[in-house]
Chains A and B, each alone.
Chain A
Amino acid sequence: MRWILVSAMVIATVAGDLLQSHEMKRAGEQSVSAKGLARLLHTIAQRRLLILGIACNAVSFFSFMALVQTEPLSFAVPASSASFVLETALAKFVLHERLGARRTAGALAVLAGVVLVGG
């Protein structure tokens, strides 16, 4: 069950991150002052893909809630880093990007780390 929850969390995180990063770059600079947060909420309301990204984050969030109920925090948070492995695999097999040695080494280090954390 722990790996099902980790998988749900990771897939939703990757989708949410991609959508948010893409949309926030288009929205321009934001701040975290009271006025800035109000502007940020206004930006969110205007961008459907950003709302979809946040919905993905919600799925990830509920998976995390279920995970920390039964698993230690010292497992749940590092295990969520498997998103780096998925992002790298997506870049290679879906976007047909050429992966450099550093990126491949980084993704393999994360994968090895997740295996060690889960072992």
Chain B
Amino acid sequence: MKNLPQHSGAVLKTYSILLFFLALKAAGNSAMAWGMKQIPERMSMNPALYLRAMLNPFVALGVAALILALLTRMALFSLADLSFVLPVTAVGYVIAVFIGKVFLQETVSGQRWLGTLLIFAGAALVGSTSENTTSVTRKARDEPQ
């Protein structure tokens, strides 16, 4: 498979981490959106407001899940090319709109669904044209520590 490690164990590991990342991102985004809407003060440039917002349990859960998602994505970057990671993680846009509609009871118009699908298709197209840099990863992996 292009832009992915060739042996089946590495492919399985990459897809497991990918699914873990998508689940964390979805959970983190929805917890964050739910929690932030309960905060009465409007966010501004004041960092104290953001720190205070993190005391909300949903926001804290969202922050924790999104930080773990960030670390998971970094691990994914070390296993596969950006040209693989970008298009496959673009499905997250569709998942976010689905969560917004089903769990957060947001109104999602046909125009917004169309826009999201265009974004998904466009992101997949952009990602599929990036340079393959796997050789850099392989070189770093093979170098003695």
Contacts and interface: CB of A to CB of B under 8 A. Distances in A.
A102 B128 contact: yes
7 contacts: A25-B77, A29-B141, A30-B74, A65-B32, A66-B44, A88-B126, A103-B126
Interface of B: 13, 17, 20, 29-30, 32-33, 36-37, 39, 42-44, 47, 50, 53, 59, 66, 70-72, 74-75, 77-79, 82, 86, 90, 92-93, 96-97, 99-101, 104, 106-108, 111-112, 114-129, 133, 136-137, 140-141, 143
A54 B121 CA distance: 28
Contacts of A114: 115, 119
Given A62-B50, A69-B37, A108-B122, A81 B71 contact: no
Given A72-B106, A84-B126, A78 B66 contact: no
A61 B65 CA distance: 12
A11 interface: no
A61 B115 CA distance: 23
A109 B75 contact: no
Nearest to B43: A66
A106 B99 CA distance: 25
Contacts of A77: 29, 92-93, 96-97, 100
Nearest to B98: A74
Contacts of A66: 43-44
A94 to B, nearest CB: 16
Given A69-B37, A73-B30, A74-B106, A110 B119 contact: yes
A105 B112 contact: no
Nearest to B115: A116
Contacts of B122: 81, 84, 105-113
Contact of B137 (A29, A70, A113): A29
Given A113-B115, A117-B115, A65 B50 contact: yes
Given A73-B100, A105-B125, 15 more contacts: A29-B137, A32-B17, A36-B75, A62-B43, A65-B36, A73-B30, A74-B108, A75-B112, A77-B100, A109-B121, A112-B122, A113-B115, A113-B116, A116-B111, A119-B111
